[in-house]
């Protein structure tokens, strides 16, 4: 996913500075896309009332645990004062 095609049309390009923090904690783009697909599936089931497949629940739990571990690692490395 990219917004580069909108630069100069409806977006302006901003050069990030050293204080800018990645919004995905360095998570691979394919993982972010998977999380987005799971989010969309959850939204659909909330409105439709359909049953969520057990495989989707298991994948969501697995991804959440992995993201939690990545977040803790990032916090320890970048903001250890928050880990007390």
31-72 per-position pLDDT tens digit: 989 999 999 988 988 889 888 889 999 999 999 999 999 999
Q: Per-residue pLDDT averaged across 1-24, rounded?
A: 74
> Is residue 25 pLDDT above 90, yes or no?
no
* Cβ contact 41:50 at 8 Å: no
pLDDT (0 to 100) of residue 6: 79
Mean pLDDT for the chain overall:
86
pLDDT (0 to 100) of residue 84: 79
Whole-prediction pTM: 0.66
């Amino acid at each position: 996913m990219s917004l580069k095609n909108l630069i100069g049309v409806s977006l302006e390009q901003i050069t990030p500075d050293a204080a800018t923090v990645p919004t995905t904690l360095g998570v691979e783009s394919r993982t972010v896309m998977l999380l987005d697909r799971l989010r969309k599936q959850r939204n659909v089931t909330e409105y439709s009332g359909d049953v969520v497949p057990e495989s989707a629940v298991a994948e969501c739990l697995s991804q959440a645990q992995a993201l939690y571990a990545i977040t803790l690692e990032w916090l320890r490395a970048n903001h250890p004062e928050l880990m007390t």
